[in-house]
Amino acid sequence: METVLKVEGMHCAHCHLTVARALMAIPGVSRAEVLPEEGKAVVHHGEKTDVRDFVKAIEAEGYHVARA
């Protein structure tokens, strides 16, 4: 599965790495593509992975996930 999240507050390569690491630490995530210039993260994951965990992980790092 693929989930696209709008992430606010990313401005640099460090932001990219921080968000990517947070997402990759979640069980069931196979790949996380973080695109700070587009303000989004594309998360590839299994069906049983809870998308709310993505939001919690990103917001725990100090960024905001906008509701679509």
CATH of the domain at 35: 3.30.70.100
Count of domains for the chain: 1
Domain ranges, residue 11: 2-66
Q: Cα–Cα distance between 11 and 2 in angstroms, integer?
A: 23
Mean pLDDT of 14-35: 96
Question: What mean pLDDT, rounded, does the chain reach?
Answer: 94
Residue, of 60 and 66, whose pLDDT is higher: 60
In terms of Cα–Cα distance, which of 35, 28, 39, 36 is closest to 2? 28
Q: Inform me whether the pLDDT recorded for 32 exceeds 70.
A: yes
